[in-house]
Structure 1
Amino acid sequence: MSASLTVVGLGSGDPDQLTIGIMRKLQQATQVYVRTKEHPVVRLLDELKLPYTSFDDVYEARDAFHEVYEEIADRLMTIAGSGTSDTEIIYAVPGHPMVAEATVQILKERCPEREIQLTVLGGESFLDEAFIRLGFDPIEGFQLLDASGLESRLIQPQLHTVIGQVYDMFTASDVKLSLMDIYPDDYLVVVGHALGVSGEEQIVRVPLYELDRVEGYGNLSLIYVPKSDEDEHRVRTFERLHEIVSILRSPEGCPWDREQTHQTLRKHLIEETYEVLETIDEDDPVHMQEELGDLLLQIMLHSQIEEELGSFNVYDVIASLNEKLLFRHPHVFGERTAGNAEAALQNWEQMKAEEKRRKGIDPSEQSVLDGIPRDLPALMKAYKLQKKAAKVGFDWEDLDGVFAKIDEELAELKEAITEGQDLQSQQLELGDVLFAVTNVARFIHSDPEEALSLTNHKFVRRFQYIEQKLKSLGKTFEESDLAEMDRYWNEAKTLNK
């Protein structure tokens, strides 16, 4: 490669921290380019009368930072590609070239494609000064985050957190909102401007709610959030939930939790699922939040039991789910398309079949009815069995056939009861009626569980209306009769109760 480009770091801002090697490179270079003149060390270049070209004009011409970085990288590669083997082109960036420097990442990716030899020389990072001036040791646990892409899910309160690229108050405001998802409004945070630069450094400690009221944000600004092990700051993190469940199951934990097995927890998993469904039917978001948490606890406990056995842990569960969602949504994460819900469902089913083939399972060797959980509630299971059978053509052409089947099964039930057949025979005939009625749900595209649930709720409302009416009259059920109760029932119907 004849073309070459060398990237050097100008350090965190203090000219005295500039390395001798990098200073020599700047003095000996044929051409020097700086990402921006807005850096204290560039003033040293002016004092030494070292010529350079800045890319500040690109910032003024472009609307978004990623466009700025793309253009700077492209200009540099064009310049380097047009040079000769003895041309020394230096690109100087603030801080360390490999810390929060997007242009260098673009150059590292694309220079080989253009046969440009790229050399990166370090420099003092703004982190070096942050460790010194803010007084924390990163070995205790540390994370560096970008203010421009900050999301609350990335924040881990148990780690020291430095947030860079805080260029202005608008960015600081976005950071504040993300942090407020985790920390209380009055949590103390630190704003650092030009750390380590004599005469320019500012370190301001403020409550979180004042973060975007601090003056002076710019290229040399950062925000520091001290680590915290307090539960009130970690309570929203999944890691804390995992930790709590593992403690509950430990020898020092809860005796009841320690004794649980998959089998003993089975009924609780079912109960919590139905309690979530109840909050959905009641359209009660506050109650739903609580019940979803109870259901999540059951998942955590089952996963914790397997973690203790060495089989898998809850993070394996999450990984499996993520992989499944990505694989079964090729119309979202792949190249397929789906213009409606039916097409999306077809993609899902096709990818499920592909998953089985990859596991060595031949879908053609399986029963059409395979894949339905054994312990589903009977009505729900009937619905799913019928849907699977209908997919291969085992179905009535229209609702007339369904209603005829219901009439047939109802007649057989009446006959079994009238003739005094044994209980099992009567149950089977009753089951046939319910199974036949379930077909109606499919034809009208209604879940039978939901339909019956609506009727159950309607029955509860109307029956409670009867209770209220009797109570207002000072009467009990024993003091009433069916005719009176039926009158109040019909009254409830007219009131749409």
Structure 2
Amino acid sequence: MGNITIVGLGPGSFDDLTLRAVREMENAKAMFLRTRKHPTVEYIEKLGLIFKSFDEEYDTLSTFEDVYMNIAQKIIEAARIEDVVYAVPGHPLVAEDTVQRILKISEDEGIKVSIVSSVSFIDAVIGSLSIDPIEGLKVLDGLQIKEQKLDTASHNIITQVYNRRVASDVKLKLMEQYEDETQVILIKAAGVPGLERIEPMPLYEIDRAEWVDYLTSLYVPPINKKKRYEFEDLISVMERLRGEDGCPWDKEQTHESLKQYLIEESYEVLEAIDEGDIDKFCEELGDVLLQVVFHASIAMDRGDFDITDVTDRITDKMIKRHTHIFGSDICDTPDQVVDNWEEIKKKEQGFNTVTDTLRHVPKNLPALMRSYKVQDKAARVGFDWDSVEGALLKVNEEIREFLDVYKSENYGKIEEELGDLLFAVVNVCRFQNVMPEFALNGTTEKFIKRFSYIEREAISQGKKMEKMTLEEMDALWNAAKMNNFLKSDKN
């Protein structure tokens, strides 16, 4: 079993090679280069050193992931026989995927790995552009740009802009946050005398540069105004509004004072869904999100928790309650998922009885929705009718019991019997997979539309509704129903 020494070749100039790097390569029993496409290779050849490169891997394999894994495995295979020197562009620990793979595999197999540091391409870019990383610096991989997150408030250096196709991918990703005219800088062979090329240009032009190659990186400066705001921006705005010089109204709000807004905004989301208005839906979801951030800001000021605690808890909950995805449980149907969720929830919250789960249904829910959820939880342990017919018989029973008391002056009993009747109707809704809250809202909306028809017809006939008889209004009501039927029939 041999050892692996990984050598950094620097950004491109042989002047940046360290003495140790040269010594390790000169004494190597077996030396490999990730690629010959690096300016320092010419100097290595002048030294008369023998090496093997992996450029052919790039031509025979379809993805960079496959290329990097194949290279790493071949280095490990060679190290099982003798000591190996593996040389890579730049610094071995900066944007070098093959090195990270080698480190992981070698740790599993007990192979010793030594790193010979060098100047990285980041050092070269910083030097060429005279930027200070203390202001914030993020390094991104051009080949993985679709999965990575930009930081518009920091300096961004995007490496591995190998060709115009990669440059196009990078451009499209950047245009999600930056304006097309944003001034960026393409840098080729940073720090390499005679080869370095630095060219400022608008963002939209970066994939038009024909000279882009494997030595090219892109620098994107910090900007003040983003093209699109993100979650962190909303948090920053709220901090400003509730800060020392912030908005008087926002600063005086409490959890209690905001309760009505959370309810209102939630219902406006439901309305947007019903209307099928996607733009309104997006906007209303933002209003609900604002309420979440608002409450978290108030809690942070009180020292209770902050927005990260909120996202941490919900993420942790989703992982723990989806054990069929993040664990070993098996759930093949939606019903099995719900049952599994409920069992996990019982254990988490220390519920010892079914009654505990019923009492846990929030009292602040709309009454129809709360009764539906309570009935559903009871039904899960078998306390339920065998069919909807049983539920319908219960409705008839409750109607009869109401008829027995409705003419009395016992208003407490009247309220009780009406509650029983409503509860029985909710049971029927549950058997039919109909949410009673939505059903009643739909009927209320239908009533408004038909009433509007009556009023319009009355006005067109020169009548005031207050002066009309019930029979006249009822006739118009039936006309409204027929009008609605005809429209539905045409559709």
Q: In structure 2, what is the equivalent of residue 56 of structure 1?
A: 55
Residue pair 1:8, 1:22 contacting (<8 A) in 2 also: yes
1:438 to 2:417 alignment: no
Aligned 8 A contact 1:389 1:395 in 2: yes
Find 1:394's aligned residue among 352, 370, 383.
383
Cα distance in structure 2, aligned partners of 1:443 and 1:77: 63
Change (3 A) 1:178 1:489: farther
**Structure 1 counterpart of 2:15, one-letter code:** D
Counterpart among 236, 239, 245 of residue 252 in structure 1: 245
Tell me the TM-score normalised to structure 1 length. 0.92
Q: Letter of the aligned partner of 2:33 in structure 1?
A: V
Paired residue for 1:378, among 318, 343, 367? 367
Q: How many residues align?
A: 485
> Does residue 299 of structure 2 align to residue 306 of structure 1?
yes
Distance in 2 between the 1:471 and 1:428 partners? Answer: 41
Query: Is the alpha carbon distance of 1:457 and 1:132 closer, same or farther for their aligned partners in structure 2, counting shifts above 3 Å?
Result: same
Q: For residues 199 and 471 of structure 1, what CA distance do their matches in structure 2 show? A: 87
Secondary structure in structure 2 of the residue aligned to 1:7: strand
User: Alignment identity in percent?
Assistant: 41
* In the alignment, structure 1 residue 271 sits paired with structure 2 residue 264: yes
What displacement does 1:488 show? 3.5
Of 240, 243, 246, which aligns to 2:236?
243
**Match 1:459 to one of 428, 440, 447:** 447
Unaligned runs of 5+ in 1: none
Deviations 1:3-51 (A, max 9, x none): 1111100011122222222122222322221000011101112233322
| Aligned amino acid, residue 68 of structure 1 | V
* 1:202 alignment partner in structure 2: 197
In 1, distance between residues paired with 2:462 and 2:269? 36
Q: Does 1:127 align with 2:127?
A: no
Question: What residue in structure 2 maps to residue 82 of structure 1?
Answer: 81
The 2-side partners of 1:149 and 1:479 are apart by 73
Q: Could you tell me whether the CA contact under 8 Å between 2:346 and 2:357 is conserved in 1? A: no
2:318 to 305, 314, 325: 325
Q: How far does the alpha carbon of each residue in 1:92-119 deviate from its partner, in whole angstroms, 9 at most, with x for none?
A: 1001000011111111112133332211
1:338 to 331, 334, 342: 331
Alignment-mate amino acid for residue 376 of structure 2: K
How many angstroms apart in 2 are the aligned matches of 1:187 and 1:340? Answer: 49
State the AA in 2 paired with 1:251. Answer: E
Once the two structures are superposed, what CA deviation does each residue of 1:48-101 show, in whole Å capped at 9, x if it has no partner?
332211111122221111111111111112212212xxx5x3111001000011
Q: Is the contact made by 2:241 and 2:247 (CA closer than 8 Å) also made in structure 1?
A: yes
Q: Is the 8 A contact 2:32 2:51 kept in 1?
A: yes
C-alpha distance in 2 between matches for 1:222 and 1:481: 82
Tell me: CA distance 1:256–1:21, structure 2 relative to 1, closer, same or farther (3 Å).
same
How does 1:130-169 map onto structure 2 within 5 Å? 130-151=125-146, 154-169=149-164
Q: Report the Cα offset of residue 479 of structure 1.
A: 5.4
CA distance in 1 between partners of 2:148 and 2:38 (Å): 32
Which AA in structure 2 matches 1:390?
A
* Alpha-carbon distance between aligned partners in 2 of 1:368 and 1:237, rounded to the nearest angstrom: 37
TM-score (norm 2): 0.93
Output the CA distance in 1 between the equivalents of 2:152 and 2:57.
Answer: 37
Partner Cα distance (1:212, 1:336) in 2 = 48
Offset, 1:144: 0.9
2:341 aligned to which of 344, 348, 360: 348
Residue in 2 aligned with 1:228?
223
Cα shift readout 1:300-324 (whole Å, capped 9, x = no counterpart): 1111111111121011100000000
| 1:366 Cα offset (Å) | 5.6
Q: What is the rounded CA distance, in whole Å, between the counterparts of 1:177 and 1:463 in structure 2?
A: 52
Q: CA deviation at 1:143?
A: 0.8
3-state DSSP of counterpart to 1:363: coil
Q: How far is the alpha carbon of 1:260 from its aligned partner? A: 1.2
Instruction: Indicate whether 1:405 and 2:425 are aligned.
Output: no
Q: Does 1:109 align with 2:104?
A: yes
Within the alignment, does 1:429 sit opposite 2:429 as a pair? no
> Could you tell me which amino acid in structure 2 is paired with residue 100 of structure 1?
A
- Render the CA deviation track for 1:434-481: whole Å, top value 9, x for unaligned: 111111011111111111122122222222233343444555434544
Corresponding residue number in structure 2 for 1:291: 284
Q: Which residue of 2 aligns with 1:492?
A: 480
| Other-structure match for 1:44 | 43
Taking the aligned partners of 1:353 and 1:412, their CA distance within structure 2 comes to 37
**Alpha carbons 2:168, 2:207 under 8 Å: kept:** yes
Distance 1:343 1:415, change over 3 A: same
Code of the aligned partner of 1:14 = S
Distance 2:357 2:87 in 1: 66
1:386-417 Cα distance to aligned partner (Å, 9 max, x none): 11222222222222221221112112222222
- 8 A Cα contact 2:140 2:148, kept in partner: no
User: Using a 3 Å threshold, how does the CA distance of structure 1 residues 396 and 182 change in structure 2: closer, same or farther?
Assistant: same
Supply the AA of the counterpart residue of 1:469.
E
* Structure 1 residue aligned with 2:15: 16
Moved more, 103-112 or 23-32: 23-32
SS in 2 for 1:417: coil
Match of 1:91 in 2: 86
Give the direction of change, closer, same or farther, for the CA distance of 1:56–1:377 in structure 2 (3 Å limit): same
Q: Which amino acid aligns with 1:378?
A: A
Q: Note the C-alpha offset of 1:227.
A: 0.8
Counterpart amino acid of 1:381? R
Q: CA deviation at 1:383?
A: 0.8
Equivalent residue for 1:219, pick from 208, 214, 221: 214
Secondary structure of residue in 1 paired with 2:405: helix
Q: 1:138 to 1:472 in 2, by over 3 A?
A: farther
Q: Can you list the C-alpha shifts for 1:252-305, whole angstroms capped at 9, x where unaligned? A: 111111111111111121111111111111111111122111111111111111
CA distance in structure 2 between the aligned counterparts of 1:480 and 1:202, rounded to whole angstroms: 87
- The farther-off stretch of 468-477 and 332-341 is 468-477
Counterpart code for 1:315: T
Q: 1:182 deviation in Å?
A: 1.3
- Counterpart AA for 2:232: E
Give the conservation status (yes or no) of the 8 Å contact 2:164–2:207.
Answer: yes
**Partner SS for 1:457:** helix
Could you give the per-residue CA deviations for residues 115-164 of structure 1, whole angstroms, max 9, x where no partner exists? 32211111111101111122311100111111222247711211111111
Q: Supply the AA of the counterpart residue of 2:265.
A: E
**Counterpart Cα distance in 2 of 1:248 and 1:373:** 32
